[in-house]
Amino acid sequence: MEASQEHSPARVYEDLFVPALFAQWGPRVCDAAGISLGKKVLDVACGTGALTCVAAERVGTQGKVVGLDINEDMLGVARTKTSLVEWRQGRAEDLPFEDESFDAVVSQFGYMFFENQVSALREMFRVLRSGGRMAIAVCDALDHAPGYAVLAEMLHRLFDLEVAEAFRAPFACGDPDQLLFHCQEAEIPNPKIFREDGIVRFDSITALISTERACVWTLGGLLDDAQFEQLLEAAEESLLPFVTPDGSVQFEMPALVITAGKD
């Protein structure tokens, strides 16, 4: 499937980015947070629920899962997936929950876009119960995702720095030392950060480029039709090393995962 400019950003995310990038991370983040039967879980910046739905399966009917996101369109898609989750609109920096409300607090690939990352960390730790665990996944550095690194260089070469920087934005938190500093600022004791390997897979070069063009958080609205065709032509050559025998595009994209427990 290829992205269309007529598709909503939330639908592009669910139909294209979730299977290509994000579906693989739900079980891993749940494992890192120790989510199991009967737990009460909060997923911050839940998007369309890729992680949230996995958490709901883990906790079963004896537990409870809340998915919170600032974007109502994303929540609208999430609500069509399951009624077993309580979907809430809200900001990571001002969570609408009492202290120590959850056994686990998780988030995947939303942290990079928070307005105040330290405040968000502080809030997530505040609503975590004693004995609970937090796990947050962010994109690793761009140079660890070779296909996207090539794409960023193409954007810079073909267009301008502004376009390239917009594409690089989701990778801005791929520095373990920076993340540890954020945890220190948020007064989170004994945080741990580990790197976990992941894979990006799109059906074709055209699918990858058209999906990225439709992404409102990176290239959405920045490229006109002529620029898109120019980028696609360049990508057919530059991304060729990542094309598999079946014509799909595949390359590594690891994540950094922040974990912390509350005594």
Q: At 110, is the pLDDT very low, low, confident or very high (cuts 50, 70, 90)? A: very high
Q: What is the pLDDT of residue 7?
A: 67
Q: What number is the average pLDDT over the span 232-261? A: 97
Give the CATH number of the domain where residue 189 resides: 3.40.50.150
Q: What is the pLDDT of residue 221?
A: 79
Non-local CB neighbours of 195 within 8 Å, separated by 6+ positions: 140, 176, 254, 255, 256, 257
- Pairing mode, if any, of strands 64-69 and 86-89? parallel
The reply to whether 239 falls in a domain is yes
The reply to whether 141 falls in a domain is yes
Q: Residue 94: exposed, middle, or buried by beta-carbon count in 10 A (0-12, 13-18, 19+)?
A: exposed
The chain-wide mean pLDDT, for the chain, equals 94
Proportion of the chain above pLDDT 90, given as a percent: 86
| Assigned token pair, 66 | 């809340």
Domain that holds residue 14: 9-261
pLDDT greater than 70 at residue 84: yes
The reply to whether 2 falls in a domain is no
Secondary structure class of 101 (helix, strand, coil):
coil
pLDDT greater than 80 at residue 6: no
| Assigned token pair, 149 | 């690194």
- The tally of domains found in the chain comes to 1
Beta strands in the chain (DSSP E): 40-44, 64-69, 86-89, 102-108, 128-139, 192-196, 199-202, 249-252, 255-261
Encode pLDDT of 189-232 as tens digits. 999 999 999 999 999 999 999 888 887 777 877 888 899 999 99
The reply to whether 1 falls in a domain is no
User: What's 111's DSSP letter?
Assistant: G
Q: What number is the average pLDDT over the span 174-185? A: 98
> Which residue is listed with tokens 């296909």?
147
The reply to whether 4 falls in a domain is no
Q: What number is the average pLDDT over the span 229-256? A: 97
Q: At 25, is the pLDDT very low, low, confident or very high (cuts 50, 70, 90)? A: very high
pLDDT greater than 90 at residue 160: no
